[in-house]
Amino acid sequence: MACRRPRPVLLIPIALLAFLSVYSVAQSSSAASHASQATRKPSRTAALLDPGTVTNGVYRNKTLGFTCKIPAGWVLRTDEMNARDEDEQANNTGTDSQAAPAPASSAAGKVLLAAFSRPPAAAGEDVNSSILIAAESTAAYPGLKDVAQYFEPLTEVAKAQGFSVDEEPYEIAIGTKTLVRGDFHKDVASRVMHQSTLAMLSHGYAVSFTVIGGTDDEVGELIDGLDFGARPGVKK
């Protein structure tokens, strides 16, 4: 029997991508609305997820084997975004029959890093550049075989938020790791919001790295801060 592709469910990282895009627009001060959510029992594997640490402007995750540079002066909102999601899950009753289930615990889906160039609620004339790294158990996606499948719901959510696809997902090598990357843009008044999402499957998780910036060059610089270590024989 052929394996069905994963349904575009609104799990934690995907829902937060929508939230992140809203808060990256200048002068945005209200949160994006989310679908009602039911509960799902987290897997044992997901409970072992390493949250990582931030030291001297660098996020490190030993389990997943990468580091990410955080630009100087940026503000971290990782704990707040995880707490926000837990609060919404507690308040929502899942009465919408068309809403997809989401994990009841951050053990199944978790924001590893949320960093912004200014506080999310602060007004500004430019795009609030940001980095969001999130992970969720692949058990939440029955039939998920490769990271390209994971991009199907990610792309659907980006389009639903008004983003246009610049280029279909493609492979990109960063150090010793090959990820899949998708690029998007969204016109916001006189500004253009550029978003790139990279994703991989590792240690039983679907891990997404999303950056938002005001220009392609800025997005590129943020992605350059992501490192999986140099390939043998390659000097950094």
Which residue ranges form the domains of the chain, and what is each CATH number?
12-28+41-227 (3.40.1000.10)
Q: Between 24 and 35, whose confidence is greater?
A: 24
Mean pLDDT of the chain: 74
DSSP characters for 91-109? Answer: H-----TTSPP--SSTTTE
- Residue 144, pLDDT score: 87
- Residue 1, pLDDT score: 42
Average pLDDT over residues 51-74: 95
Average pLDDT over residues 70-98: 70
Check pLDDT > 70 for residue 70.
Answer: yes
Compute CA 154 distance to the chain's CA centroid, rounded to the nearest angstrom: 9
The answer to which of 43-57, 86-100, 120-134, 154-168 has the lowest mean pLDDT is 86-100
- Residue 98, pLDDT score: 30
In the structure encoding, which two tokens stand for residue 5, read together? Answer: 């592709």
Over residues 182-224, the pLDDT tens digits come to: 999 998 878 888 999 999 999 999 999 999 999 999 999 999 9
